[in-house]
Amino acid sequence: MPNSRTLAEPPVVRAALAAQALALRDAVRALDEAELALPTRLGDWRVRELAAHLAIQVGWVPLHVDDPAPDGPLLGLTAWVAAVRSAADLLDEAARRHAAEVFAGPTAAVAAAFDEAVDLLTDFLAGPRAADAGRRFGLRFGPIALGDMLVTRLVETVVHADDLAHALGRSRFPHDTRAVAAVSALLLAALAERAAGADVVDAVAAADVVDRAEKLAAADPLAWIRVATGRDPVPADLPAGLLPLLG
């Protein structure tokens, strides 16, 4: 199973995550009242709920790094990809509550609340505890290594930054390229694992699916990420039974 070292070295992950969070901070600071009320492609979430969800995800590690981590084998990154869908209802509820309680104010208050989450993360990433990639971190799915947990934050910040750009009618978000590369690689690894164990394809077909996805990712990693996360339709040459991986 891939871990953070197979996707990017831990210092690169930390730098990419800090850059991605700061780019999101700038985007949220620029939102006006009308933009906060815009719909998103995430059900009935408005940009306000999306910003609230992003703030939770950005601040999660520094707020919970000292929580007790459960015993047991560490959760790998592809296992996290497979498991995170099961938390969709809880994540939706948390985002709505955060939007109503913390992100309900005017744009200046929203920006300040988002700044606070980003400051928590960037201060943590610059400190010594973030460098302990093997530190156990507790999730509802089981323990995960801190280095891998930070990769999951790359997934959240890349995928939802793209959601934000889409909601605002912008063609692109100023992603950190290292963050996009790490997310693309993780989703390819998760697809390869799912294809290898799927009943709908044999070994040759599974390898062909992964090869086609790799070509899409090489040509346009964000296009691949959108397919893998259910934002864009699955291309005809990629069996829909294997995709999306997240959504």
What pairs with residue 138 in β-bridges? 143
The first and second tokens of residue 184, run together, are 């693309």
Helical axes 221-228 vs 203-219, angle rounded to 10°: 130
- Cis peptide upstream of residue 106 (ω within 30 degrees of 0): no
Query: DSSP per residue over 216-238, as a string?
Result: HHHH-HHHHHHHHTTSSPPPTTS
Answer positive or negative: Cα dihedral of 198, 144, 59, 121. negative
- Work out the number of other CB atoms within 10 angstroms of the CB of residue 174: 15
pLDDT of residue 3: 47
Question: Residue 204 — pLDDT band, cuts 50, 70, 90?
Answer: low
List the one residue out of 195, 154, 136 whose CA is nearest residue 18.
Answer: 154
Q: How many Cα atoms are found within 13 Å in the side-chain-facing hemisphere of 112?
A: 7
* Answer CATH for 4-176 from 1.20.120.450, 1.10.340.30, 3.40.1280.10, 1.10.620.20: 1.20.120.450
- pTM more than 0.85: yes
For the segment 186-196, what is each residue's pLDDT rounded down to a tens digit? 999 999 998 88
For the segment 174-189, what is each residue's pLDDT rounded down to a tens digit? 999 999 999 999 999 9
For the segment 19-35, what is each residue's pLDDT rounded down to a tens digit? 999 999 999 999 999 99
Distance CA 195, CA 243 (A): 10
For residue 202, pLDDT over 90 is answered with: no
For the segment 44-83, what is each residue's pLDDT rounded down to a tens digit? 999 999 999 999 999 999 999 999 888 899 999 999 999 9
130-169 as b/e, with b when 16 or more CB fall inside 10 Å? beebebbbebeebbbbbbbbbbbbbbbbbbbbbbbbbbee
Q: Report domain extents, the chain.
A: 4-176, 179-228
